Amino acid sequence: MSAIDYAYTKGKTKLKLTLLGSGGEGAVYEIDGHPDVVAKIYHDEPDKREGKIDAMVAISESFIFKSANLSNDIAWPLSPLYDSDRDDRKFIGFGMKRIKATAELDDLYVYPSKNDSSVTIKDRVTCLISLCDVIDRLHQTGQVFGDFNPNNIKIKPDWSVSFVDADSYHVRNSGKEYRCVVCAPGYVAPELIRACKGTTYADCPGATFTRETDRFALAIHIFRMLMNGCHPFICERHLKRAGSAPAPKSTDKRVESGETPFFKSIPNYAAPQYAPDINTLPPYLRDLFRKAFVDGHTNPAARPAASEWKSALIRYSSELIACRCDRSHYYWKGNGSCPYCAADHRYNKKMGLVPAKNSAATTNTRNGANSGSTFQTKQVAATAAAAAPTYSNHSNAGWFWFITLAATIVMLILLGLHALPGIYAEMFENETLVAIGVVGSLISGIVGSALFNSKWAPGRISGTHAWWEYLLSVLTAFGFTIGFGVAMGLVILTMYLLSYLFMGAFIIAIVVGILSGG
């Protein structure tokens, strides 16, 4: 399909289009008068995609999808578009939210990175927390991503992520499944590789993409982000062993066989030199990776959910300390030295480079470790590096929890000693009910603060909290404390009313029985 100038909505509104760019499936257009929305117009056979787009539009209008608040995080189809306003019009594409980003997830996997890069390990962890959060919210709607191509995951200046090419997702609506028919090599779960041998994702006779396959791909992204871009199933020839060795396998072949050198012994092969030692990650992260790649290899249900990863990464972010030698390096506080500096030293030694700081002329010449792999890291152009975001995050999540819970407990102690007993005594005049009210209110207050901190605090994703979040946490605790008393009063009032109604009905029944001679 050649470039077009106009498209029409379902309500026959005419939209003026201006071409932004073109890809394999279609072209993206600006919409005149709608700066926050763009149009995707398919090149070929748009009629074959119409049903799926209609289903995705219906999903976007559902209560559960709106509750997930995904409109700013995924370029989800918002409305179908047509070639004319006639009754015999033809479907040509759809409108979607415009995603503005400065980089792609794949850009953060580049190794070696430039010395003047403003992207730190802590920034990468912040990005991963956002990634897990979006995936968790989509999974809560009952939908599945399918293709986790890192080029389709965009990075904003605050290190939050947004997803594009949503029309390729694996979705269900009204009992009908619309399959994802593509997936980037290296991110396909082993059970799906086996199921689709000799066929395509579209024609596979069994199940294809699921939340479990999403979880496998997510774990790979997390691993690569923390391990200098290294894929968990990439191997390189063992440097200390001579002699013959089998030809290198492709990444998907190793995934299918479960051959990860970070958790298993692979004859004649070892983990790449540029990857940090897996044992320098905290035990709770290593356990999650083991569940994803070892236990989850044969049992997909064992793979950690996005919410589990998010909680672990928030904790990890709060436990990172800055490296004294490289400003982009942060590492877990349980280590005695920086594992990223150690990885740099091993890589430079292998490449015959000066073990100290890389010179500006250093280029990425590592391309022989695994010739069958699609995951050799790429060199970023100087212009892309100059355009990299400069936001830096400094977590205060640990202090946030400590201060808010401490303030909440002090407030609850004061209320428990001076206010709550008198309030409940006025309400109930019963010692047992007064005791239940006081204890219940105190517990509710702590629950309220914990819920705000873990579910509602705006800074929970990045681990950085503004001063007013501390105040809101304590106020939420106070609200839950008072709310328990109100709820308890309503319950008891309702019980009294029901008892009176029951007694009234009983008396009426007796009177009716007497008058009727029963």
Nearest to 189 by CA among 277, 291, 265, 297: 297
Range of the domain at 416: 397-513
Cα 468 to Cα 287: distance, rounded to the nearest angstrom: 36
* pLDDT per position as a tens digit, 17-27: 999 998 888 99
Res. 506: pLDDT tops 90: no
Cα 370 to Cα 237: distance, rounded to the nearest angstrom: 8
- Identify whether residues 373 and 271 lie together within a single domain: yes
Share of residues in the chain with pLDDT > 90 (%): 56
Q: What angle, 0 to 180 degrees and rounded to 10, lies between the N-to-C axes of helices 211-226 and 283-290?
A: 140
User: What was the pLDDT predicted at 435?
Assistant: 87
Cβ neighbors of 468 (< 8 A, separation 6 or more) are none
User: What was the pLDDT predicted at 247?
Assistant: 65
User: What was the pLDDT predicted at 385?
Assistant: 33
- Asked if residue 159 belongs to a domain, the reply is yes
- Asked if residue 392 belongs to a domain, the reply is no
Full-prediction pTM beyond 0.95?
no
- Asked if residue 312 belongs to a domain, the reply is yes
| Cβ count within 10 A of residue 3 | 11
Q: 362: pLDDT confidence band, cut at 50, 70 and 90?
A: very low
- In one letter, which amino acid is 429? E
Q: What angle, 0 to 180 degrees and rounded to 10, lies between the N-to-C axes of helices 306-318 and 397-418?
A: 90
**Among the ranges given (192-196, 250-254, 427-431, 435-439), the one the predictor scored with the smallest mean pLDDT:** 427-431
- Asked if residue 350 belongs to a domain, the reply is yes
Task: Tell me which of 47, 63, 97 is where a domain ends.
Answer: 97
The helix (H) or strand (E) run that includes residue 163 is strand 161-163
- Identify whether residues 267 and 414 lie together within a single domain: no
Rounded CA Rg of the chain = 29
* pLDDT per position as a tens digit, 69-119: 999 999 999 999 999 999 899 999 999 999 988 889 988 888 887 545 678
Q: 241: pLDDT confidence band, cut at 50, 70 and 90?
A: low
**Among the ranges given (29-43, 54-68, 329-343, 374-388), the one the predictor scored with the smallest mean pLDDT:** 374-388
Cα 490 to Cα 502: distance, rounded to the nearest angstrom: 18
Q: What is the number of structural domains in the chain?
A: 3
Res. 338: pLDDT tops 90: yes
Cα 434 to Cα 423: distance, rounded to the nearest angstrom: 9
- Identify whether residues 260 and 150 lie together within a single domain: yes
- Identify whether residues 37 and 115 lie together within a single domain: no
- Identify whether residues 307 and 450 lie together within a single domain: no
Burial zone of 476 (CB within 10 Å; 0-12 exposed, 13-18 middle, 19+ buried): buried
Strand partners of residue 441: none
- Identify whether residues 72 and 131 lie together within a single domain: no
- In one letter, which amino acid is 370? N
**Which CATH number is 30's domain given?**
3.30.200
Q: What angle, 0 to 180 degrees and rounded to 10, lies between the N-to-C axes of helices 397-418 and 431-451?
A: 160
**Which CATH number is 357's domain given?**
1.10.510.10
Strand partners of residue 14: 8
* pLDDT per position as a tens digit, 215-230: 999 999 999 999 999 9
Cα 327 to Cα 330: distance, rounded to the nearest angstrom: 8
- Roughly how many angstroms between the first and final C-alpha of the chain, as a whole number? 86
- Identify whether residues 289 and 143 lie together within a single domain: yes
- Identify whether residues 326 and 261 lie together within a single domain: yes
| Cβ count within 10 A of residue 456 | 13
Res. 4: pLDDT tops 70: yes
User: What was the pLDDT predicted at 517?
Assistant: 67
Q: 460: pLDDT confidence band, cut at 50, 70 and 90?
A: low
- Identify whether residues 153 and 280 lie together within a single domain: yes
| Cβ count within 10 A of residue 243 | 5
- Identify whether residues 350 and 226 lie together within a single domain: yes
- Identify whether residues 64 and 152 lie together within a single domain: no
Cα 304 to Cα 290: distance, rounded to the nearest angstrom: 10
Res. 511: pLDDT tops 90: no
Q: Do residues 292 and 304 touch, judged by C-beta distance below 8 A?
A: yes
Distance (Å) of CA 226 to CA 150, 257, 271:
15, 23, 14
Cβ neighbors of 118 (< 8 A, separation 6 or more) are 328, 388, 389, 390, 392
Q: Do residues 239 and 208 touch, judged by C-beta distance below 8 A?
A: no
User: What was the pLDDT predicted at 1?
Assistant: 56
Nearest to 284 by CA among 313, 318, 307, 260: 313
